[in-house]
Amino acid sequence: MAKTECRTVADYIAAQPETARAALKKVRGAIRKALPQAEETFSYKMPAYKSRGRVVIYFAGWKDHYALYPANARLVAAFKDELASYQIGKGTIRFPFAEPVPVPLIARIAKFLAQDAVRRAKPRSSPKP
């Protein structure tokens, strides 16, 4: 995919090959609808969405697929059946451009990651002596 420096997510999508743009627009829309209060930004040269000051989800377009990050063990376990037909590895869920964009699934993944970030950010109480 295009490796140009982009300042906005719209620029990032516009810089991608035409065959990828429609899918990436749907991915962006699904995340924005699921996380309406999230701040759209860039991190690691990818579109990213921050909630409560921390990035909770990223997406990126590649040659034959687009991907969501991070695919942590809790997420993969929670969506095991729905993700069975997709390639998962090294913190990545890969979705082929050749298939329809699973908008409802992407929205649920975004919400899950946002809730997981909140859970991880809560201070743990220390055990009482």
CA distance 77 to 84: 11
Under DSSP, the state recorded for 6 is: -
The pLDDT tens digits for 21-63 are 999 999 999 999 999 999 999 988 999 999 988 899 999 999 9
For the chain, the domain total comes to: 1
- Model pLDDT, residue 129: 56
Domain that holds residue 84: 9-117
Instruction: Residue 62: name the closest of 27, 18, 97 by CA.
Output: 97
Q: Are 31 and 51 in contact (CB under 8 A)?
A: no
- In a domain, residue 58? The reply is yes
φ/ψ (deg, to 5) at 40:
-85, 130
- Model pLDDT, residue 123: 64
CATH number reported for the structural domain that contains residue 38 in this entry: 3.90.1150.200
- In a domain, residue 110? The reply is yes
